[in-house]
């Protein structure tokens, strides 16, 4: 908003030129997000306490669990405010990537808010029906997938040899000259391509999968792509929701993932860095660094109140949104195949529940009694049952998250 304001009125105030720089606006978004989360977050927590929006805790036999009874929930409102307000202030609102991320944030936040509202105010512990949640997640997956596939402003540029570049219309080819005088030729691509980690020449086009069934099958690539997007957003969103089980775990691990995506986004949106590191250049994607700055500030600011012992829980309002946002960011940056590495914490937490439930049902049918792989699922509760303190579990999960983030960044050169 401020960027457009200075551009529209052509202000010549000293210092306003810094709004042309993504790095400045991203830094300001982070700072404002921290202020909103820390300053206004306290007011939101008091409001939730007055409204008696407290967490209902079931006795699962975990140490210190019942002490959390009545702790304010729906604190995800702090995260949403910390993301949306700074983004509206500092991002270019005519950028399709920013518009998509704002839509995904509001959409997924609304699903989580309805779920929390039913649990707290309707006194229904089940919350929003699982089918309704899935429908909501599928809905935003459809919007994101179709927009990325068909919107004319969403494209990537890949380097090609001069001989090949000369075969295309000059409007489809961008030339980029280094200081050394070496010229690069970038071909404009609108196909749904992505990055394969650990592979040299790591571009992968979804149409190549359907190409195995003949040339005509390629025209249905959009269906495959949309299905992949829906699956990723639904899986990561639910993974974050499951991970939000102990103080500071979901917020801390999300902050690590978001920071990593911020680095990947900045590189992918900068023609110089993308050429140097031989990664896909995506025009316009760099603007998302402003959004990511706001999100990082929101996660850190919320963690101030959510660290053990938590003064507020994010609830589904925050966890469903965080997971879906991280998935959408990875899709837009064309790094969705790195999600199993970057979001390894969410993946393992998800798998622990699937394995526990599946094995319990299998053994009940075969032996007449259900058996368990873990003492309790999700995985963080298993470690609680083993006697580990919440703070130690969270700290170690953060350490693993940092290791996975470093491995994700290493894939830029490890091929």
DSSP track, 62-85: -TT-GGGTT-B--THHHHHHHHHH
pLDDT at 159: 64
197-243 pLDDT, tens per residue?
877 767 777 887 777 777 777 788 889 999 999 999 999 999 999 99
Q: Which residue stretches of 269-378 are H helix?
A: 271-276, 288-306, 315-332, 339-342, 344-367
Which residue is it, tokens 């919440």?
390
Query: Which of 278-282, 356-360, 371-375, 383-387 is least confident?
Result: 278-282
User: Can you give the pLDDT at residue 155?
Assistant: 76
Binned at pLDDT 50, 70 and 90, residue 295 comes out as: very high
Cα 374 to the center of its chain, rounded Å: 28
What confidence score (pLDDT) does residue 235 get?
Answer: 95
- Please state the pTM of the whole predicted model: 0.90
Nearest partner of 277 among 285, 266, 286, 290, judged by Cα: 266
Closest CA to 142 of 282, 331, 276: 331
The 3-class secondary structure across 121-159, one letter per residue, is HCCCCCCCCHHHHHHHHHHHHHHHHHHHHHCCCCCEEEE
Answer whether the bond into residue 222 is a cis peptide, omega within 30°.
Answer: no
**In terms of DSSP bridges, do strands 193-195 and 203-205 run parallel, antiparallel, or are they unpaired?**
antiparallel
Confidence of residue 15 (pLDDT cuts 50, 70, 90): low
Give the pLDDT of residue 181: 63
Q: Which two tokens stand for residue 224?
A: 């495959």
Residue 55 has pLDDT above 90, yes or no: no
Compute the distance between CA of residue 252 and CA of residue 64 in angstroms, rounded to an integer: 21
Nearest to 321 by CA among 81, 138, 106: 106
- Residue 180's pLDDT band, with cuts at 50, 70 and 90, is low
Report the chain's mean pLDDT, rounded to a whole number. 86
Q: What is the pLDDT of residue 322?
A: 95
- The pLDDT value recorded for residue 163 is 53
Q: Residue 54 carries which DSSP code?
A: B
Q: How would residue 276 be classed by pLDDT, with cut points 50, 70 and 90?
A: confident
- Percentage of the chain beyond pLDDT 70 is 83
Condensed to tens digits (0 to 9), the pLDDT of residues 319-374 reads 999 999 999 999 999 999 999 999 999 999 999 999 999 999 999 998 888 899 99
Q: According to the model, what pLDDT value does residue 133 have? A: 92
What is the tens place of the pLDDT at every residue in 127-138? Answer: 888 889 999 999
Q: How many CB atoms lie within 10 A of CB 403?
A: 12
């Amino acid at each position: 908003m401020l960027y457009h304001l200075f551009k529209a009125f052509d202000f010549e105030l000293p210092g306003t030129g810094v709004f042309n720089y993504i790095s400045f606006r991203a830094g300001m978004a982070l700072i404002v997000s921290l202020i909103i989360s820390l300053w206004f977050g306290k007011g939101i927590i008091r409001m939730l306490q007055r409204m008696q929006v407290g967490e209902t805790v079931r006795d699962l036999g975990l140490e210190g669990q019942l002490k959390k009874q009545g702790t304010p929930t729906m604190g995800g409102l702090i995260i949403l405010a910390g993301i949306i307000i700074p983004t509206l202030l500092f991002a270019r609102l005519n950028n399709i990537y920013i518009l998509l991320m704002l839509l995904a944030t509001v959409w997924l936040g609304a699903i989580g808010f309805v779920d929390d509202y039913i649990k707290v105010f309707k006194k229904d512990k089940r919350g929003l029906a699982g089918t309704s949640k899935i429908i909501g997640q599928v809905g935003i997956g459809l919007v994101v997938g179709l927009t990325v596939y068909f919107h004319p402003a969403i494209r990537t540029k890949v380097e090609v040899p001069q001989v090949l570049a000369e075969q295309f219309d000059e409007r489809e080819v961008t030339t980029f000259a280094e200081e050394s005088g070496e010229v690069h030729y970038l071909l404009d691509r609108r196909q749904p391509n992505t990055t394969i980690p650990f592979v040299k020449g790591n571009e992968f086009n979804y149409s190549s999968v359907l190409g195995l069934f003949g040339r005509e099958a390629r025209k249905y690539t959009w269906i495959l792509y949309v299905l992949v997007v829906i699956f990723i957003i639904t899986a990561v969103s639910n993974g974050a929701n499951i991970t939000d089980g102990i103080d500071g775990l979901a917020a801390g691990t999300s902050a690590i993932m978001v920071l990593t995506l911020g680095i990947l986004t900045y590189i992918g949106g900068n023609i110089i860095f993308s050429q140097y590191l031989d990664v896909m250049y995506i025009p316009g994607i760099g603007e998302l660094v402003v959004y990511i700055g706001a999100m990082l500030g929101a996660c850190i600011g919320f963690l101030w109140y959510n660290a053990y012992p938590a003064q507020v829980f994010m609830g589904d309002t925050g966890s469903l949104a965080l997971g879906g946002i991280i998935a959408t960011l990875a899709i837009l940056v064309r790094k969705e195949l790195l999600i199993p590495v970057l979001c390894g914490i969410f993946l393992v937490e998800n798998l622990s529940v699937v394995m526990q439930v599946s094995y319990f049902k299998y053994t009940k049918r075969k032996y007449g009694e259900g058996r368990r792989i873990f003492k309790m699922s999700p995985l963080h509760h298993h470690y609680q049952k083993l006697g580990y303190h919440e703070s130690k579990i969270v700290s170690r999960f953060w350490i693993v998250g940092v290791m996975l983030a470093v491995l994700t960044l290493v894939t830029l050169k490890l091929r």
